[in-house]
Amino acid sequence: MIKVKNLYHSYTNDRAYAVEDISFDIGKGEIFGFLGPSGAGKSTTQKILIGLLPLQKGDVSIAGMDIRKPTEEMFNLIGVSFEQPNLYKKLTGLENLEFYRKMFSVPTEDPMKLLKMVGLEQAAKKRAGGYSKGMMQRLVFARSMLNTPKMWFLDEPTSGLDPTTASNIKEIIWQKRKEGATIFLTTHNMHIADELCDRVAFIHDGRIELIDSPRNLKLQYGEKMVQVEHRMGETFKKEYLSILEEKDRQRLNHLINQGTIETMHSQEATLEEIFIKVTGRGLK
Amino acid sequence: MRRVWMIFRRDLSSSIREFLLLYMMAAPIILAIIFKMFIPSANSAALQFAVDAETAKDMGIYKTISQYGSVEVYQDFQDLEKRVRGTDDIAGIIKAQNGSYQIVLEGNESHDTKVIPEMILRDYLSKEALAMTFSIRDLGYTQSPIARVGAASLILTTLILAGAVIGFNMIEEKEGKTLSALSVTPMRRWEFILGKSMIGILLPLVIVYVILWLLDMWYVDKAMVFAMTLISSGLTVMMGFLISVFSSNQISGIANMKILLLPLSASVIGALMLSPSQQVFVYWLPTYWSFLGFDGIIRNTMTWGQIGYYGLWILGLTFGMFLLLRNRIKKSFI
């Protein structure tokens, strides 16, 4: 669905690249996570892909269409949910969607249906300027679905949302994937990426460090650990034991034989831990 | 065109919901209403007569009065009286049943409005008896210069304020980063520019006629007014872009709008105060040509050739400014 080859971009038109030699492919119906800390080059890459920044060097195609020559057909295919609430604050939520849908030349979704999906039906006739940050975020998200995009760009879609709403948004993303949408998810939230993505790319200092599925990354980089909580007289103690190390295995056997274990969970490395391991810095 | 229309409608809705922009759109009409209250004294320089149908039948007196000012004919006395009671100075002349002429006044008219009709009637009715010969020189002005210049200035203000409405809607797009959202739709660049410009084109086309109607200048050539307003909307759009390009928020937008009012004042003052040879110094201002155009139309001295000539200046200068600022405009919005 999307092919990126040797992508470079410099804001100063010199060799100080914000993104450098980025290449990846995203298959149809795949959720691809683009993970990296602030300033890593996530937004720059996404802006180039959606046409907000010019393509200086490299090749990018969406559904076989070269983004250097963007067509009406290409823009009808894509949907973008921005991180910032870029809405018309003096228009109501419904008016925002009604206005935006008229920009497309393909059949569009019913705005009220979308507002209902994101839980904004009660606020449909309220001015967007009076919305809370989370409501604005949901309206931006709903707007991005108006043209039923085949290629859907999501920039921090659950940022600023409460857990219930975030869960609802995740459900919608899964549903859209089932319906055949290809999703490019930009985030620094590793939990979201872990839950939603088929594959993730780690971007750091403008370069992609690795691309793989969260499961493979955990298998490759994670240590097989067990978290054990056991009774010691009147108190409880929590221990992390590796099942690969002989000394930890013996300790685990000992605790099992003692019969003092209260809880036991297998532990796997988080994407954030893997990111730190790969890049040497955190995602924040 | 659907997208252009939608962008225009969005801007209109947004403008109506913002007090500042609503005021900018309504201000020329409010100013025209206020100005109308001052026109009677201004118009006293030009005479106005209201005559009844009987008086109008006497072609001799009708032609004589017409030489001194504008004449309005009323079928019945009530209408004539209502007109005389209006805010401006107008003298009523009716023919009584005994064949004599009577002057109808409200009582608060200026000296000229009271005295001159008397003198005209006396001259007309007794001229054969006096056996005098005289000639009348008509300078061709039936409107007072103050009313004329005021109306043309109000029209220029309309154009500038319509430009400010464009500018402030653009600033809203910049502040809210909403253009990013539009840029990832099939909307084309020209559709955005035209859509944003529509409010600056359509708004003056309506308001200019309302101003002329309010100021009792409905006699003007409407087609010429339409052409001149349409041509001048190039300048309106330019103003809008200038305000938005140099402003990152509403406060700086207001500051830049004030700066843009300076050339507006310069063009009016230049056209009125400078000698024809010195007016070359204000040729670079599109507002100068626009002012000359509307002034000429209100005077009824404008020709289509002149409209074309002034139009070339306005559009040429506006296009030149766009060329100068094109990189800045691109960086700001596109």
| Interface list for A 139-158 with B (CB within 8 A) | 140, 143, 147
Question: Shortest Cα distance from A150 to chain B (angstroms)?
Answer: 14
For the ranges A141-150, B54-63, B141-150, the maximum mean pLDDT occurs at A141-150
**CATH code for the domain in which residue B110 is found:** 3.40.190
Count how many domains chain B has: 2
Give this complex's ipTM. Answer: 0.81
What pLDDT, in 10s, does the model give residues B235-271?
898 888 888 888 888 888 888 888 888 877 888 888 8
Same domain, B239 and B305: yes
Domain membership of residue B268 (yes or no) is yes
What does the alpha-carbon distance between residue A208 and residue B276 come to, in Å, rounded to a whole number?
70
Percent over 70 (pLDDT), chain B: 91
* In the predicted structure, residue B129 carries a pLDDT above the cut 80: no
Q: Do A104 and B186 touch (CB under 8 A)?
A: yes
Q: How confident is the model at residue B126 (pLDDT cuts 50, 70, 90)?
A: confident
Find chain B residues with C-beta within 8 A of A52's C-beta.
180, 183-184
Same domain, A148 and A177: yes
Per-residue model confidence (pLDDT) at position B88: 76
Domain membership of residue A13 (yes or no) is yes
Same domain, B256 and B187: yes
Same domain, B222 and B267: yes
Domain membership of residue A105 (yes or no) is no
Same domain, B29 and B56: no
| Cβ–Cβ contact A130 with B under 8 A | no
Domain with A24, as residue range(s), is: 2-82+144-218
What does the alpha-carbon distance between residue A25 and residue A41 come to, in Å, rounded to a whole number?
17
Residue A249's contacts (CB-CB under 8 Å, 6 or more residues apart) are A241, A243
Q: Please tell me which of the candidates A75, A88, A105 has its beta carbon nearest to residue B184.
A: A75
Question: Shortest Cα distance from A161 to chain B (angstroms)?
Answer: 20
Same domain, A149 and A70: yes
What pLDDT, in 10s, does the model give residues A243-254?
777 888 898 899
Per-residue model confidence (pLDDT) at position B41: 56
Residues of chain A where predicted confidence (pLDDT) is lower than 50: none
Same domain, A214 and A233: no
Same domain, B115 and B204: no
| Interface list for A 55-114 with B (CB within 8 A) | 72, 75-76, 78, 80, 82, 84, 86-91, 95, 99-100, 102-105
Per-residue model confidence (pLDDT) at position B312: 94
Per-residue model confidence (pLDDT) at position B228: 94
Find chain A residues with C-beta within 8 A of B13's C-beta.
90-91, 95
Same domain, B31 and B90: no
Same domain, B104 and B124: yes
| Cβ–Cβ contact B176 with A under 8 A | yes
Could you tell me which chain A residue has the CA closest to the CA of B178? A86
Q: How confident is the model at residue B86 (pLDDT cuts 50, 70, 90)?
A: confident
Closest CA to B298 of B271, B266, B260: B271
Domain membership of residue A211 (yes or no) is yes
Domain membership of residue A31 (yes or no) is yes
Q: Do B6 and A103 touch (CB under 8 A)?
A: yes
Q: How confident is the model at residue B136 (pLDDT cuts 50, 70, 90)?
A: low
Same domain, B194 and B302: yes
What does the alpha-carbon distance between residue B52 and residue B84 come to, in Å, rounded to a whole number?
12
Higher pLDDT pick, B63 / B129:
B63
Instruction: Write down which residue in B130, B157, B177 finishes a domain.
Output: B130
Domain membership of residue A162 (yes or no) is yes
Same domain, B174 and B322: yes
Q: Do A90 and B14 touch (CB under 8 A)?
A: yes
Domain with B18, as residue range(s), is: 2-39+144-333
Phi, psi of A187 (to 5 degrees): -160, 160
Same domain, A186 and A212: yes
Same domain, A165 and A187: yes
Per-residue model confidence (pLDDT) at position A218: 79
Closest CA to B120 of B167, B71, B61: B61
Count how many domains chain A has: 2
What pLDDT, in 10s, does the model give residues B9-21?
999 988 888 888 8
Domain membership of residue B139 (yes or no) is no
Same domain, A149 and A256: no
Average pLDDT over every residue of B40-67:
78
Tokens read off for A65: 């269409």
Same domain, B165 and B238: yes
Cβ pair B240, B165 in contact under 8 A: yes
Same domain, A196 and A179: yes
What pLDDT, in 10s, does the model give residues B166-221?
999 989 888 888 988 998 999 988 898 899 899 989 999 999 999 999 888 888 89
Domain membership of residue A136 (yes or no) is no
Same domain, A244 and A156: no
Domain membership of residue A164 (yes or no) is yes
DSSP letters, chain A, are -EEEEEEEE-TTSSS--SEEEEEEEE-TT-EEEEE--TTSSHHHHHHHHTTSS---EEEEEETTEETTS--HHHHHHEEEE-SS----TTSBHHHHHHHHHTT-SS----HHHHHHHTT-GGGTTSBGGGS-HHHHHHHHHHHTTTT--SEEEEESTTTT--HHHHHHHHHHHHHHHHTT-EEEEEES-HHHHHHH-SEEEEEETTEEEEEE-HHHHHHHH---EEEEEEEETTEEEEEEEESSSHHHHHHHHHHHHHT-EEEEEEE---HHHHHHHHHSS---
Same domain, B215 and B308: yes
Same domain, B308 and B287: yes
Same domain, A150 and A210: yes
Domain membership of residue A96 (yes or no) is no
